[in-house]
Amino acid sequence: MRKLYIVRHARDFDRIMKENHCVKNTCFVVYYQENQLPYNRYGISVSKKLGNAVFRNSYKRKIRSIIDNYKKDYIKGKDYIIILRRGALEKEYQELEKQLTCLL
């Protein structure tokens, strides 16, 4: 995923999450908001409660991989914040992929 497509700033995270458009399942919570850009932007959050830095970064890489594989199918012009839940820890990659594509 290119750096252009990443939500980086805390104020952007807060703005998107305060909009209260969200969808949930056992693995993910996805907040979304319209943006005025011709592409989507994604922010990924994995809590420190779920594991150490190596663990969190590995899950972020998995989520980025899923986004890259399916980004042609998503509606353009939105910002997404993807939060990993504890229910995702015992799931395989294919199940995570299925769950996330269902929400997006």
pLDDT the model gives residue 73: 74
What is the C-alpha to C-alpha distance for residues 36 and 83, in angstroms, rounded to an integer?
A: 23
Task: Check: CB of residue 31 under 8 Å from CB of residue 21.
Answer: yes
Length of the chain: 104
| Side-chain-facing half-sphere of 14: CA atoms under 13 Å | 3
Tens of pLDDT, residue by residue over 1-60, are 666 788 888 898 899 888 888 899 998 999 999 988 888 889 999 999 998 999 999 999
pLDDT the model gives residue 74: 74
Task: Check: CB of residue 88 under 8 Å from CB of residue 27.
Answer: yes
What is the C-alpha to C-alpha distance for residues 51 and 91, in angstroms, rounded to an integer?
A: 15
pLDDT the model gives residue 7: 87
Residues of the domain holding 41: 3-103
pLDDT the model gives residue 3: 67
Beta strands 28-34 and 22-24 are antiparallel
Tens of pLDDT, residue by residue over 49-100, are 998 999 999 999 999 998 888 877 777 888 899 999 998 888 899 998 888 8
Q: Where are the alpha helices (DSSP H) in the chain?
A: 10-18, 53-70, 93-103
pLDDT the model gives residue 24: 92
pTM of the model: 0.87
Number of domains in the chain: 1
CATH of the domain at 38: 3.30.230.10
